[in-house]
Amino acid sequence: MNTGRAAQKCGPQTVVRAFDKLSIPDIEICCSQSDVQITKCVFILDDWTNTTSNNCTDFIQHSRIKDNIYCYLFETNNTYFFGNPDSGNNLTRPWVRNIDFYFKIDNITNITSKYISVGAISVQLMDPNFNPLWKEKAASIADLYENQTIKSQINAFAGIQNMTTLAYFTKQTIQTILPHDIFAIFGTTPNYHNISYLNVISKYFPLHPNEDVSAGNFHGHFNVGPGSFIHDVQSEKLSHTVLFALGLFGGGFGLISGIYILLFGQLRNNP
């Protein structure tokens, strides 16, 4: 049945939008073979001052431990937002430029005994309005695909011992048509199901020697910020709808009637 519906869809239409602000992503932080702590997260504000949350306790409320993999979910619940520095004075202050995270791995010895790399964690960003792995059930085949992408950590980046990671994200949304959407079937505006995902580019640099690293206060650092405030929205369209079929039928009937009149003349009207 899904294959039949897919055959009726034409190519998606893309709309590009520019925003003054973006929601801060939900951030999943995972470590294999050891627990991990976020010793602090620092919000860099619009005026270049900062506010610090020790242990990030205000923003990490959910955790999941399975198969010796320790995962935590960072979420601001719209307490803060990323602001576009080029938007002028249209933003309500304070807004955030980027966020620094400092992490500490509890048992680096256990990690290095299992892997050939130094101690590391995996980090991935998810749109707070679409997070099927932690918050909601999948509603479509596309949801299941994105959920599997998140589970496989295809879009994740690494936080590495004695390294700093700079991660930049851009947002893209796909508006899909769910099965049995009566509006889409008739050819009017569908009740779109939005699937938002974040594309991430990361860069890695070594940390210089400092007292915090030497004392073991943290093992590594990563920074998260928006790479662009341009948002691509792709909307699915159905090529075969009821209105399309009626229009096609009407056009075909008119064509046949025209050919008939051309060949045999117009029918006589009875008085």
For 9-30, the pLDDT digits (tens) are 555 677 788 889 999 999 999 9
Query: What's the distance, CA 252 to chain centroid?
Result: 45
Residues whose CB falls within 8 Å of the CB of residue 225, separated by 6 or more in sequence, listed in order? 82, 97, 98, 99, 166, 167, 168, 169
Question: d(Cα 161, Cα 225) in Å, to the nearest integer?
Answer: 21
pLDDT above 50 (res 266):
yes
% of the chain residues with pLDDT over 70: 70
- Assigned token pair, 94: 């304070």
Query: Torsion angle of alpha carbons 44, 45, 50, 55, nearest 10°?
Result: -60
Question: d(Cα 256, Cα 251) in Å, to the nearest integer?
Answer: 9
pLDDT above 80 (res 187):
no
Query: Torsion angle of alpha carbons 71, 74, 75, 81, nearest 10°?
Result: -150
- Residue recorded with tokens 């998606």: 12
Question: Which of 51-65, 195-209, 230-244 shows the lowest mean pLDDT across its residues?
Answer: 230-244
% of the chain residues with pLDDT over 90: 43
Contact 36, 106 (CB under 8 A): yes
Question: d(Cα 96, Cα 84) in Å, to the nearest integer?
Answer: 9
| pLDDT tens for each residue of 113-148 | 999 989 999 999 988 887 777 766 655 666 666 667
* pLDDT (0 to 100) of residue 151: 72
Looking at per-residue confidence, does 3 or 239 come out higher? Answer: 239
* pLDDT (0 to 100) of residue 224: 97
Looking at per-residue confidence, does 176 or 34 come out higher? Answer: 34
* pLDDT (0 to 100) of residue 89: 66
Q: Is 46 helix (H, G, I), strand (E, B) or coil?
A: coil
Instruction: Report residue 31: phi and psi, to 5°.
Output: -140, 135
Query: What's the distance, CA 203 to chain centroid?
Result: 19
Of 27, 22, 20, which Cα lies nearest the Cα of 224? 27
